[in-house]
Structure 1
Amino acid sequence: MKKTLKNIPLVYLLILVIFFSCSSDDDATVDPDDDGGITQPEPVEALNLAEYDNGSRVMMQAFYWDVEPRFEWWNTISDKLGTWSDAGVNRIWIPPASKGQSGGFSMGYDPSDYYDFGEYDQHGTIPTRFGTREDLENLISKAHENDIEVIADIVLNHNSGGGLEYNPYRKRETYTLFDETHGNASGIFNRNYEDFYPNSVNDYDPPSLFYQETNLDHHREHVQNWLWKDENSVAKYYKNVMGFDGWRFDYVLGFEDFVIKDWLEAVGGFSVSELWDGNPNVLRNHIEATGSGVFDFAAFYVMEQAFDRNHDLTGLTNDQVWQTNPEKAVTFTANHDTEKDGNEDNIIAPENKLKAYAFIMTHPGYPNVFYLDYENPEFQDQLNKLIRIHNSLATGSLEVIYADNDEYIMQRSGNAENPGLVLYINTSGNTKRRTITTSWDTRVLIDYSENSNYSPMVEENGEVTIEAPANSYAIWSITK
């Protein structure tokens, strides 16, 4: 029988016992072949992690920037759904699925016709960059057959690809005419300059990084009706006709919080907002105002700084959204934007990527796996192990046992039916060991990430000496 832990409340305690030291702490550095004077037990049997289902799963970002091959992406990821489901993925986030101004080259973030999923001949193509409407419908159907929800990427502020018309509020021609012959071949949600800022009832011209003149005014009744209120609105059509299960709201800095709140009240579903801000309080305020989850950019930058910029793992204890709102924090190590712009402050270095995944897979929050990371043959085996650990042993209250510039040790307490785990990250060039006090007693431990073959015995008082290989990590728990 599977030991199911759904609906068990978690109290996340950050009990920081931090010792500030440098990488020359010789007491922790060991020869990896040295048993440390501890008698190694006879071979032991690992837990069957399939028997410890804590109800948690992970999401897959099922694309990267400028995916190839063009016109075949929906079919490409359809073929992977069974494997992803078996690995422990329960949602996929796909790119904006409707026709953009760039036609067959568009990644969907220049939306023109919200209802053209690859069936109308406009912007130089019938299919979108990702394929035809039939391909998309097949993808969604196959995902549901594999118990995977499909999350639509929704771009709600900036439009692109309309026709020129004279705009009396800007006193010049603007590309604000969207109808059957001007970028909206579906003929649904036709719009003109009155639907964008400024207009006859709203002279406000809000700042926007994208397409200033085609920035939708969400206060306009016509816009609200077609985005989420009417029975044939974008929100209801995507949910009820296309079969999408939830929403990733793009660039939420470009519109007001009430838009997401009203959208979710109209159609519900899982949601996560792209609020690109490393301040955890800004992210928490958005959660409170909208009811939506957020990508935990605070956690992303904490990891980037700890592993890459500052080389100081005490930073992993800094304020992050998952600490207070674990059910609303989508944690991640990379996405299509962080991996394409080349900004060293917006990317976690490849050599530190798996350590970052070990962090998010063992801590509270809802981890998101980036497609290119999962499909990287150097990462995939370890990512599968981390997902399996996340979905089984990563439960219970959290205690940070030790942190310094190159070591970080954390325990999840588990519960009466689940032993929990201990994560040990080591960024130094040497294998390290630490004696810690755990909630276990007289049990043999093994590393379920399989990065270490050391198997120490816990003393009656809970003390045990664990290790982490050089520039790596280990995830410890009990054996049978």
Structure 2
Amino acid sequence: MSNPWNGKVVFEAFWWNCWNTAYTDWYTYLAALAPRLAAMGFDGIWTPPPFKGDANGGKDSISNMGYTPYDYYDLGSKLQQGCVQTRFGTLDSFLRLVAIAHANGLEVYPDIVIDHCDGGGFDNSSPADLTDRYKAFQYAGFAASGRWPKSWMDFHSNPVHWFLSGDWPFASFGPDICYQGRCSDSGAADQNCYMRREARDWFVWFTRQTGVDGFRFDDVKGFPPEVVEDLLYNAMGPGTEYFCVGEFVSYQTGDLDGWVAAVENRSGAFDYPLRGGLYSMVYSGGYFDMGSLPNYQQQNRYKTVPFVNNHDTWHGRYWDSAGDNSNDHDQRTGDWAKNGSELAGTIDPDNPRAQIAYAVAMTVDGNPQLFYEDLFVNYNADRTSANPATLATRPWLENLVWCHQKLEFKAGAYKVRFQGSQQLLILERSARAIVGVNNDGSAWHDAWVATDFGPNVELHDYSGSRPDNIWTNQDGWVSIAVPPTSYSVWGRVGIEGGFGPAGKPTTQEFQMDDDLGDSNPATPGYGGKLTPGEPRTAGSIWAGAGTEVEVWVYLDDQENPPTATLQVLLPDSVTGAKSSAPGPRVSGPVTPLNLKFTAATEGYYQLTAMLTDKAAQPVRAYVKATYTGPARSAKF
């Protein structure tokens, strides 16, 4: 498997209101699922929003899917909104998921929601005529108020942007953030305003803290595109060779192309126009013009993401459920594929034409995204207690992933070989694969097409729709015949085997300051500046047994550095849980301070540090760890 960075197969690793009672949290379940996803051939996983959401008027925020953020610096380590963990787990379990995904050769792409937030208190300073005055956000910190407080001045409406129109100031799921700049009454306000600076600083912190590999940005239509460009440039550097996608919901290709250009190709977009075509094809009963399908694609496909379903198009146990997590499977009348909480109609993965839709989405340019509810048969009794090793899949979708990866689709140029039929479409990934799709429900369709395979090459159908092999002729042409309501995937004979991607280490950086973390005894107690004689815990890493760990402590100012001690606390040798058992340590000037050791057992290694110079002033510090998580674990 050798995919280019913009040709990865991405798995959306959650469903709306996802839950698994067999595990302590969703992140832990995904960590257990990671080896299976890697064995299927996936390149990366899209994970849900990682920050603490508001309590939604309930006792805690466990019910919040993360799309109404409360505190961006709370990844599940502060006692806020009624709980410490987020819906999906703790900071510890998220960092562990990243490390275990990396150990399995998987990248991690969290969902980023920066259009709005919610859960603030009543803002007494706000004008009485504001519709929503709950815009005072004050957060927990270790020894001070938490970082990035907000007030009504940071949202719409405010003195810089009072007169509202268009998508940017539209409040849909809570107070809508104002980034000023073009998002203002004048159209030329401060581009480096408080919210823009704080968002940038947070995103850099988040990327270093977690060690994630890419991102999905939610509702990017809701704020200026230069915000995304700014964040990505500062966190990921000037290059663009990483996965990133924005949710810009429009069925006009020009809208998506314009947004991608505005972010300077640092992010792609979900190809909603193509998805609209696929939806029409699936539900047109064989009367859709297949030859027109390539014309639905957005033009700028540098980092595009074709997809069939996602969590916004499927709410409920079944594809036609009446509402969130409904047990109904009633094929209701009217707009029967879309319920009131969905963004667009669901494509039923058990409709035979859904297989055609996925075959096209996998073949066209971009990073194809597969949805959890499509890959897994997720409507049975084990929906909320699934065993990651045995949860049933749809084998045809596994096979399409295998074909994409083993035939190396994206290593070959995309070419439309035949589109002169209402029913038949034939695409080629140059000299890698030929994919034919037939929308006719009762008859075979075929066509002779040119190929880049060359003359007299034997080809095999790896989809299994045809048992016989075929050959290109002396001119490199071949006859492609496809069964009714089906697809075929032709590649050179002799390709076989599974996947064993190489793992990689993880680097995560813990910033220690008084406005980060939480000293409440109910929390892990992470954060706080380095102080003399008082060990502070930066955070925890879950290292695999027998793996090498390297830890650094450094400061903003390396001139005249104080002396400090870096102390590692060992995990429980049986469970891997945290313990107070002392492990490796090193003392000396923070120039920086460096420690290397071999993890004797798998589990949580706590990283603590303190100043040893009694006259030193408390100082902000950074504790960075490079380590390798276990690819598999029997400890969770």
Q: What TM bracket, shorter-length normalisation?
A: 0.7 to 0.9
Report which stretch shifted further, 81-90 or 363-372: 81-90
Letter in 2 for 1:363: V
Once residues 402 and 279 of structure 1 are traced to their aligned partners in structure 2, the CA distance between those partners, rounded to angstroms, is: 22
**Residues 106-154 of structure 1: per-residue CA shift (max 9 Å, x gap):** 1000101111122222223222111111111110111122222211211
Once residues 477 and 145 of structure 1 are traced to their aligned partners in structure 2, the CA distance between those partners, rounded to angstroms, is: 30
Residue correspondence of structure 1 range 439-478 to structure 2 within 5 A: 439=451, 440-478=454-492
8 Å Cα contact 1:63/1:94 also seen in 2: yes
Letter in 2 for 1:224: R
Quote the residue 1:140 is aligned against. Answer: 98
1:311 aligned to 271, 288, 294, which one? Answer: 288
Residue correspondence of structure 1 range 143-222 to structure 2 within 5 A: 143-171=101-129, 174-180=133-139, 187-206=146-165, 207-211=169-173, 214-219=175-180, 221-222=193-194
Q: Residue 11 of structure 2: SS of its match in structure 1?
A: strand
Once residues 453 and 427 of structure 1 are traced to their aligned partners in structure 2, the CA distance between those partners, rounded to angstroms, is: 20
Quote the residue 2:493 is aligned against. Answer: 479
Once residues 6 and 330 of structure 1 are traced to their aligned partners in structure 2, the CA distance between those partners, rounded to angstroms, is: 14
**Residues 287-334 of structure 1: per-residue CA shift (max 9 Å, x gap):** 11013211111111121122324533123132312xx43322111111
Decide which structure has greater helix share.
1
Query: Is residue 244 of structure 2 the alignment partner of residue 271 of structure 1?
Result: yes
Once residues 244 and 127 of structure 2 are traced to their aligned partners in structure 1, the CA distance between those partners, rounded to angstroms, is: 35
Query: Is residue 326 of structure 2 the alignment partner of residue 365 of structure 1?
Result: no
8 Å Cα contact 1:57/1:390 also seen in 2: no
Letter in 2 for 1:223: M
Query: Is residue 449 of structure 2 the alignment partner of residue 437 of structure 1?
Result: yes
Per the TM alignment, residue 6 of structure 1 is displaced from its structure 2 partner at its CA by 5.7
Query: Is residue 78 of structure 2 the alignment partner of residue 78 of structure 1?
Result: no
Once residues 373 and 445 of structure 1 are traced to their aligned partners in structure 2, the CA distance between those partners, rounded to angstroms, is: 29
Report which stretch shifted further, 461-470 or 242-251: 461-470
**Residues 8-52 of structure 1: per-residue CA shift (max 9 Å, x gap):** xxxxxxxxxxxxxxxxxxxxxxxxxxxxxxxxxxxxxxxxxxxxx
Query: Is residue 359 of structure 2 the alignment partner of residue 398 of structure 1?
Result: no
Per the TM alignment, residue 170 of structure 1 is displaced from its structure 2 partner at its CA by 4.8
Q: TM-score, normalised by structure 1?
A: 0.80
8 Å Cα contact 1:327/1:366 also seen in 2: no
Once residues 175 and 114 of structure 1 are traced to their aligned partners in structure 2, the CA distance between those partners, rounded to angstroms, is: 17
8 Å Cα contact 2:417/2:449 also seen in 1: no
Report which stretch shifted further, 247-256 or 335-344: 335-344
Quote the residue 1:250 is aligned against. Answer: 218
8 Å Cα contact 1:354/1:379 also seen in 2: no
Quote the residue 2:195 is aligned against. Answer: 223
8 Å Cα contact 1:295/1:332 also seen in 2: yes
Q: Residue 408 of structure 1: SS of its match in structure 2?
A: strand
Query: Is residue 30 of structure 2 the alignment partner of residue 57 of structure 1?
Result: no
Per the TM alignment, residue 459 of structure 1 is displaced from its structure 2 partner at its CA by 3.2
Query: Is residue 258 of structure 2 the alignment partner of residue 285 of structure 1?
Result: yes
Once residues 70 and 302 of structure 2 are traced to their aligned partners in structure 1, the CA distance between those partners, rounded to angstroms, is: 34
8 Å Cα contact 1:308/1:349 also seen in 2: no
**Residues 365-422 of structure 1: per-residue CA shift (max 9 Å, x gap):** 11111112122377542223212222224222402314422222223332xxxxx222
Once residues 448 and 99 of structure 1 are traced to their aligned partners in structure 2, the CA distance between those partners, rounded to angstroms, is: 44
Q: Residue 152 of structure 1: SS of its match in structure 2?
A: strand
Q: For structure 1, which runs of at least 5 residues remain unmatched after alignment?
A: 8-54, 415-419
Quote the residue 1:347 is aligned against. Answer: 346
Once residues 124 and 330 of structure 1 are traced to their aligned partners in structure 2, the CA distance between those partners, rounded to angstroms, is: 37
Letter in 1 for 2:292: G
Quote the residue 1:99 is aligned against. Answer: 52
Once residues 235 and 32 of structure 2 are traced to their aligned partners in structure 1, the CA distance between those partners, rounded to angstroms, is: 29
Q: Residue 165 of structure 1: SS of its match in structure 2?
A: coil
* Distance change in 2, residues 1:92/1:170 (3 Å): farther
Q: Residue 399 of structure 2: SS of its match in structure 1?
A: helix
Q: Residue 245 of structure 2: SS of its match in structure 1?
A: strand
Equivalenced residue count is: 417
Quote the residue 1:424 is aligned against. Answer: 436
Per the TM alignment, residue 101 of structure 1 is displaced from its structure 2 partner at its CA by 1.1
Once residues 67 and 132 of structure 1 are traced to their aligned partners in structure 2, the CA distance between those partners, rounded to angstroms, is: 16
Q: TM-score, normalised by structure 2?
A: 0.61
Report which stretch shifted further, 147-156 or 305-314: 305-314
Report which stretch shifted further, 377-386 or 117-126: 377-386
8 Å Cα contact 1:313/1:405 also seen in 2: yes
Per the TM alignment, residue 167 of structure 1 is displaced from its structure 2 partner at its CA by 4.6
* Distance change in 2, residues 1:211/1:81 (3 Å): closer
8 Å Cα contact 1:306/1:314 also seen in 2: no
Query: Is residue 5 of structure 2 the alignment partner of residue 68 of structure 1?
Result: no
Once residues 463 and 119 of structure 1 are traced to their aligned partners in structure 2, the CA distance between those partners, rounded to angstroms, is: 61
**Residues 235-263 of structure 1: per-residue CA shift (max 9 Å, x gap):** 01211112222221111111111111111
Q: Residue 305 of structure 2: SS of its match in structure 1?
A: strand
Per the TM alignment, residue 97 of structure 1 is displaced from its structure 2 partner at its CA by 0.9
Query: Is residue 392 of structure 2 the alignment partner of residue 374 of structure 1?
Result: no
Once residues 86 and 378 of structure 1 are traced to their aligned partners in structure 2, the CA distance between those partners, rounded to angstroms, is: 15
8 Å Cα contact 2:204/2:231 also seen in 1: no
Quote the residue 2:203 is aligned against. Answer: 235
Per the TM alignment, residue 205 of structure 1 is displaced from its structure 2 partner at its CA by 3.4
Query: Is residue 302 of structure 2 the alignment partner of residue 327 of structure 1?
Result: yes
Q: Please tell me whether Structure 1 or Structure 2 has the larger radius of gyration of its CA atoms.
A: 2
**Residues 450-477 of structure 1: per-residue CA shift (max 9 Å, x gap):** 1221323433344543322221111123
Query: Is residue 86 of structure 2 the alignment partner of residue 128 of structure 1?
Result: yes
Quote the residue 1:262 is aligned against. Answer: 230
8 Å Cα contact 2:438/2:485 also seen in 1: yes
Once residues 238 and 186 of structure 1 are traced to their aligned partners in structure 2, the CA distance between those partners, rounded to angstroms, is: 19
Quote the residue 2:397 is aligned against. Answer: 383
Letter in 2 for 1:83: R
Q: For structure 2, which runs of at least 5 residues remain unmatched after alignment?
A: 56-60, 181-189, 237-241, 316-322, 324-336, 378-390, 495-636
Report which stretch shifted further, 336-345 or 94-103: 336-345
Letter in 2 for 1:208: F
**Residues 272-301 of structure 1: per-residue CA shift (max 9 Å, x gap):** 110001111110000110132111111111
Once residues 479 and 243 of structure 2 are traced to their aligned partners in structure 1, the CA distance between those partners, rounded to angstroms, is: 42
**Residues 38-67 of structure 1: per-residue CA shift (max 9 Å, x gap):** xxxxxxxxxxxxxxxxx9431111111000
8 Å Cα contact 2:455/2:475 also seen in 1: yes
Q: Residue 142 of structure 1: SS of its match in structure 2?
A: helix
Sequence identity of aligned pairs in percent? 28
* Distance change in 2, residues 1:96/1:165 (3 Å): same
Letter in 2 for 1:409: I
Once residues 160 and 260 of structure 2 are traced to their aligned partners in structure 1, the CA distance between those partners, rounded to angstroms, is: 30
Once residues 378 and 431 of structure 1 are traced to their aligned partners in structure 2, the CA distance between those partners, rounded to angstroms, is: 31
* Distance change in 2, residues 1:152/1:437 (3 Å): closer
Once residues 472 and 210 of structure 2 are traced to their aligned partners in structure 1, the CA distance between those partners, rounded to angstroms, is: 54
**Residues 346-378 of structure 1: per-residue CA shift (max 9 Å, x gap):** 332321222111112122211111112122377
8 Å Cα contact 2:292/2:419 also seen in 1: no
Per the TM alignment, residue 427 of structure 1 is displaced from its structure 2 partner at its CA by 2.1
Per the TM alignment, residue 81 of structure 1 is displaced from its structure 2 partner at its CA by 1.3
* Distance change in 2, residues 1:442/1:246 (3 Å): closer
Letter in 2 for 1:320: Q
Per the TM alignment, residue 164 of structure 1 is displaced from its structure 2 partner at its CA by 1.0
Q: Residue 123 of structure 2: SS of its match in structure 1?
A: strand
